[in-house]
């Protein structure tokens, strides 16, 4: 029963039995010598299993409590795609209507063409999720906080309503924005925690990856089969980098969250800003739920500028520390305009994002330097 910080450093990462190496070795190999035909030491081919990847999978599982299983993938999208193979043609998926643009694209432009049906609802209202359930529904897909509107869905309340409607319906939560340090979906009643480990888990903007964590042994076996059958697995180097990042996840999330809260409060009082969206502010409609289900409020802030898209373009060109780039969750601060960058694929759909919305991924630099950078960029 170790604490999160200790688990992140030790779970799945005992010193290497062959050499005593304290850090999990990078097993950069595709195949493994067999003593006789079929006699292996547990590894035969790296698509199926690799020791470095296994360490990462064990660590991610341990971070969500005893009895959890972890699987990792080549990207967050590969993890989501593999999970969706649990849903068969003719079945329904209820989805929160403000999901990551790439998730929306996969559901709407790819999987819908294979006979899966998607119903989009405002999951910040649990009754909307419940009312959208049909006899053919097998999966409910939530993201909280969402990207980029930072809406909050009440995981425990939705789990209760979904499971009392029909216990067999799965609940998956994309927990990328919170990370397992700030939010534990499985403990709140979800069946699957899904991650783009590219973001906070790896945390250094140097690797793309994904993960699924579950306590459902049957679903785990099926997903493990699918992971090998489909083959969208991370390479050993990517697994190694992610393991390295995970060791400091708790420290980083604390600093991301405290920096972001300071910055959100500053921006709230700036005359160029129409609205600040941050779950840590009293003004956020999901603040009370976030306070209950999250440890802190995370490093993501969205702001709506009074001057619309042209103001957003000017501000993001004027920051010096906040780098204009897609992605999030790294130690360095990033800034972007979702409507024309990360969320361009939802333009024209119900998920369209206002042009004046600027998304900040607040890093772990000194907060005073970040505040000064935003102030000079907004004053331009």
Ligand X SMILES: *Cc1c(COP(=O)(O)O)cnc(C)c1O
Residues that are catalytic: 47, 100, 174, 199
Residue nearest to ligand X according to CB distances in the complex = 76
Q: In whole angstroms, what is the distance from residue 53 CA to residue 56 CA?
A: 5
CB of 146 to ligand X, least distance (A): 8
Q: Which of residues 360-379 bind ligand X (CB under 6 A)?
A: none
- Judged by CB under 6 A, the chain residues 126 through 155 that form the site for ligand X are 143, 147
DSSP secondary structure code for residue 147 in this structure: T
**238: exposed, middle or buried (Cβ count in 10 Å: 0-12, 13-18, 19+):** buried
How far apart are CB 218 and ligand X at their closest, in Å?
25
148, 302 Cβ separation under 8 angstroms? yes
Q: Which of 207, 208, 312, 362 binds ligand X (CB under 6 A)?
A: 208
d(C-alpha 116, C-alpha 47), whole Å: 27
176: contact with ligand X by CB under 6 A: yes
Pairwise CA distance, residues 169 & 141, whole Å? 11
Block residue for tokens 């790296």 = 46
Of the candidate residues 52, 103, 184, 205, the single one contacting ligand X (CB under 6 A): 103
174 near ligand X (CB under 6 A): yes
Q: Could you say whether residue 77 binds ligand X (CB under 6 A)? A: yes
The size of the interface with ligand X (CB under 6 A), counted in residues, is: 16
CB nearer ligand X, residue 208 or residue 213: 208
Span interacting with ligand X, options 39-47, 71-79, 156-164, 257-265, rule CB under 6 A: 71-79
Stretch of 27-35, 193-201, 229-237, 311-319 contacting ligand X, by CB under 6 A: 193-201
Q: Is 76 in the site for ligand X (CB under 6 A)?
A: yes
The answer to whether residues 245 and 201 touch, using CB atoms and an 8 Å cutoff, is yes
How many Å apart are CA 156 and CA 164, to the nearest integer? Answer: 12
Neighbouring C-alpha atoms within 13 Å toward the C-beta of 267: 30
Does residue 210 touch ligand X according to CB under 6 A? yes
Closest CB to ligand X among 126 and 338? Answer: 338
Minimum CB distance to ligand X smaller for 24 or for 82: 82
171 vs 208 by CB, closer to ligand X: 208
Residue 324 burial (C-beta neighbours within 10 Å; 0-12, 13-18, 19+): middle
Q: How far is the CB of 18 from ligand X (least distance, A)?
A: 32
299 binds ligand X (CB under 6 A): no
Segment near ligand X (CB under 6 A), from 114-122, 159-167, 171-179, 244-252? 171-179
Is 199 a binding residue for ligand X by CB under 6 A? The answer is yes
337-375 in b/e form (b: 16+ CB < 10 A) is bbbebbbeebeeeebebbbbbbbbbbbbbebeebbebbe
Q: What is the DSSP string of 169-183?
A: SEEEEE-TTTHHHH-
H-helix or E-strand spanning residue 193: strand 192-196
We find the least distance from the C-beta atom of residue 81 to ligand X, in angstroms, to be 9
In the complex with ligand X, which residue's Cβ is closer, 117 or 232? 232
State yes or no: residue 196 binds ligand X (CB under 6 A).
Answer: yes
| Alpha-carbon distances of 372 from 38, 125, 259, 321, 364, rounded to whole Å | 62, 37, 13, 10, 15
Using rule CB under 6 A, residue 75 touches ligand X: yes
* Binding residues vs ligand X (CB under 6 A): 75-77, 100, 102-103, 143, 147, 174, 176-177, 196, 198-199, 208, 210
């Amino acid at each position: 029963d170790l604490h999160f910080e200790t688990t992140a450093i030790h779970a799945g990462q005992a010193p290497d039995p062959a050499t005593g190496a304290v850090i999990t070795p990078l097993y950069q190999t595709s195949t493994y010598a067999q003593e006789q035909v079929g006699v292996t030491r547990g590894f035969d081919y790296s698509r199926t299993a690799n020791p470095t990847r296994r360490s990462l999978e064990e660590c991610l599982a341990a971070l969500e409590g005893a009895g959890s299983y972890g699987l990792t993938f080549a990207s967050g999208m590969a993890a989501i795609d593999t999970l969706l193979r649990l849903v068969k043609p003719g079945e329904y998926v209820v989805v929160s209507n403000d999901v990551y643009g790439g998730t929306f694209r996969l559901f709407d432009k790819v999987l819908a063409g294979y006979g899966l049906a998607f119903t989009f609802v405002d999951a910040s209202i649990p009754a909307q999720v419940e009312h959208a359930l049909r006899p053919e529904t097998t999966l409910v897909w939530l993201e909280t906080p969402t990207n980029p509107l930072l809406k909050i869905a009440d995981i425990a309340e939705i789990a209760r309503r979904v499971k009392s409607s029909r216990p067999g319906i799965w609940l998956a939560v994309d927990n990328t924005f919170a990370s397992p340090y700030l939010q534990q979906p499985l403990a709140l009643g979800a069946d699957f925690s899904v991650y783009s480990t590219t973001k906070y888990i790896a945390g250094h903007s140097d690797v793309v990856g994904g993960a699924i964590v579950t306590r459902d042994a049957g679903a785990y076996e099926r997903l493990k089969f699918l992971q090998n059958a489909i083959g969208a697995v991370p390479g050993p180097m990517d697994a190694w980098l992610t393991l390295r990042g995970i060791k400091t996840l708790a420290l980083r999330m604390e600093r991301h969250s405290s920096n972001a809260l300071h910055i959100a409060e500053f921006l709230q009082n700036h005359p160029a800003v129409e609205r600040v969206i941050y779950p840590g502010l009293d003004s956020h409609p999901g603040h009370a739920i976030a306070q209950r289900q999250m440890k802190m409020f995370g490093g993501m802030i969205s702001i709506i500028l009074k001057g619309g898209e042209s103001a957003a373009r000017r501000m993001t060109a004027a920051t010096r520390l906040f780098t204009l780039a897609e992605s999030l969750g790294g130690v360095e601060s990033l800034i972007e305009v979702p409507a024309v960058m990360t969320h361009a694929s939802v333009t024209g759909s119900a998920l369209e994002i206002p042009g004046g919305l600027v998304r900040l991924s607040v890093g772990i630099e000194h907060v005073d330097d970040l505040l000064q950078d935003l102030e000079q960029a907004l004053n331009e």
